[in-house]
Amino acid sequence: MDIIQIKGGNFLEGEINISGSKNASLPMIIASLLTEDKIKIRNIPNLSDVFTLLKLIKSLGSEFELINEDNSTYKLIIQTKKIKSNIAPYDLVRKMRASFWVLAPLILRYGEAKVSLPGGCAIGTRPINFYLSILKKMGALIKIKDGYVKASIKNNLKPINYKLDFPSVGVTHFFLMISSLIEGESIIRNAAIEPEIISLAEMLNKMGAKIKGYGTSKIVIKGCSKLKGTDITIPSDRIEAGTFALAVTATGGKLKLKSINIKEIEALKNVLQNTDVEIKSLENSIEIIKKNGVIHPIDIETKPYPGFPTDLQAQFMALMAYSNGKSKIKETIFENRFMHVQELVRMGGDISLAGNTAIIKGKKDCLHSAPVMATDLRASASLVLAGLVARGETKIDRIYHIDRGYERIEEKLNSLGANIERVNA
Ligand code: EPZ
């Protein structure tokens, strides 16, 4: 199993290209199953989550070609002429929760589907109650048996007007996909407004769907009988960009992030500007300059977009552990997204938990190397950031977590002056 070894203390200087977004790629690849036509998706990132999903959809009957383009991004040419299997097995769905969304194309094109319950993960129980309530209201027959959701359609699914209790990103993706092929007008209220929702809606509209209001909390979908092929490009990964912005804030230095627009990380930008960071918005890139080593402590609360993203919470905590004062981080999206706390404490962080709030007593140079373990994707990114500034050599185990969402992170960081090595332990 690979581990990452980081010798801390180097500045970060230079420029990197932000890869295609993991959280836009997954729903857009699944949306390709909604048509029997050929779909081209460009700027696919080289991530293990993408390959896990491709393995699943191949088993469902998709045929695809993955063409390696410049700097290892991929162009995916995919076609699902016929759904050959309607089963999404546990061993794939448990690895990558977004696989659950294949339930939408399966039930529409096959009439019934057997999809494993995603199960919980390190950051929470990850329930699917909103998905099931939508399917039932649309008229699907739902049975939960042996850890699987068995869904079938007696007559055609009917359009519904549904208000979400929480602006769930996944449920909004799911609702857009399934409603695109249900005759009539469907409405989802309190919908998620993340940029990935906009990317999916734009793709579905290019395929012939009629979706209005995406990017706002009320989305109206006029379903059609058939969707057609299209050629679409994955937007850049705003969470990868935010992770690198936090890294250079911690280490000091000057970084240019290419192919990303500042508005994608607006909430983080507003926070970082209170820690003496200069952030410049250039033509489709961002420049982050951190001259002095002063990191002011700042309280944050994670929120649905456009609030501070929960996917940057763990990385921000590493920065606050290294700041010169006390700060609080409140996690309001997931009930257990603090698995990185104990590992940061092992590295010298002074962090305690009170319910869904972490209290961090930051201290400059408090972080030192220690053998630590990644527990989930963003926790592993947090440990890499801590390792970049910790004294000595930090060893991070179970690094397969980080490959789920970051393309060649050690290569990118080394190209900026870090001292990182991936070794086979
Ligand atoms: C997406 O997960 C992202 N994953 C997550 O990114 C991200 O953290 C999350 O949205 C929130 O922004 C992908 O896009 C692949 P949710 P998702 O449904 O859709 C509750 C990463 O690190 N909920 O918006 O699963 C749920 O328990 C990953 O890249 C229900 O209660 O998130 C959670 O508390 C991690 N019932 C809240 O909604 C449901 O039926 C937000 O979850 C569904 C969700």
CATH number at residue 306: 3.65.10.10
HSE toward the beta carbon, residue 171, CA cutoff 13 A: 24
Examine the domain organization and report whether 240 and 108 are in the same domain. Answer: no
- Residue 73's pLDDT is what? 81
- Residue 72's pLDDT is what? 65
pLDDT over threshold 90, residue 336: no
Examine the domain organization and report whether 8 and 134 are in the same domain. Answer: no
Examine the domain organization and report whether 242 and 131 are in the same domain. Answer: no
User: Residues enclosing ligand 1, CB less than 6 A?
Assistant: 22-23, 26, 97-98, 124, 126-131, 166, 168-171, 310-311, 333-334, 377-378, 405
Which ligand 1 atom lies nearest to the CA of residue 96? 15
| 190, 182 contact by CB (below 8 A) | no
pTM as predicted: 0.97
Examine the domain organization and report whether 114 and 206 are in the same domain. Answer: yes
Furthest C-alpha separation in the chain: 65
Examine the domain organization and report whether 265 and 156 are in the same domain. Answer: no
- Model confidence at 121, pLDDT cuts 50, 70, 90, reads confident
- For the stretch 391-424, pLDDT in tens is 999 999 999 999 999 988 999 999 999 999 999 8
Helices 169-179 and 22-31, axial angle in degrees (round to 10): 20
Examine the domain organization and report whether 161 and 252 are in the same domain. Answer: no
Among residues 253, 361, 250, 398, the alpha carbon closest in space to that of 312 is found at: 250
Q: How far is the CA of 45 from the centre of ligand 1 (A)?
A: 20
- For the stretch 158-214, pLDDT in tens is 999 999 999 999 999 999 999 999 999 999 999 999 999 999 999 999 999 999 999
Instruction: Provide DSSP, 124-183.
Output: B----HHHHHHHHHTTEEEEEETTEEEEEESS-----EEE-SS--HHHHHHHHHHHTTSS
Examine the domain organization and report whether 228 and 343 are in the same domain. Answer: no
Chosen domain end from 233, 249, 269: 233
Q: How far is the CA of 339 from the centre of ligand 1 (A)?
A: 17
Which ligand 1 atom lies nearest to the CA of residue 333? 34
Examine the domain organization and report whether 260 and 290 are in the same domain. Answer: yes
Tell me the catalytic residues.
Answer: 121
Measure the CA–CA gap between 277 and 257, rounded to whole angstroms.
15
Q: How is residue 321 written in tokens?
A: 């552990």
Residue nearest to atom 24 of ligand 1 (CA): 168
* Cα–chain center distance at 246: 17
Examine the domain organization and report whether 254 and 304 are in the same domain. Answer: yes
Q: How far is the CA of 263 from the centre of ligand 1 (A)?
A: 21
Examine the domain organization and report whether 327 and 194 are in the same domain. Answer: no
Average pLDDT, the chain: 95
- Residue 365's pLDDT is what? 87
The sign of the CA dihedral 292, 293, 294, 296 is: positive
- For the stretch 56-114, pLDDT in tens is 999 999 999 999 877 668 999 999 999 999 999 998 888 888 999 999 999 999 999 99
Range of the domain at 376: 2-19+236-424
Number of compact structural domains in the chain: 2
User: What does the pLDDT average to over 349-377?
Assistant: 95
Chosen domain end from 233, 255, 277: 233
Examine the domain organization and report whether 82 and 189 are in the same domain. Answer: yes
- Residue 326's pLDDT is what? 98
Tell which one of 19, 22, 23, 52 to mutate to probe ligand 1, the residue whose CB is within 8 A of the most ligand atoms.
23
Measure the CA–CA gap between 170 and 185, rounded to whole angstroms.
20
Among residues 115, 201, 118, the alpha carbon closest in space to that of 135 is found at: 115
Among residues 256, 260, 257, 258, the alpha carbon closest in space to that of 236 is found at: 260
Examine the domain organization and report whether 265 and 350 are in the same domain. Answer: yes
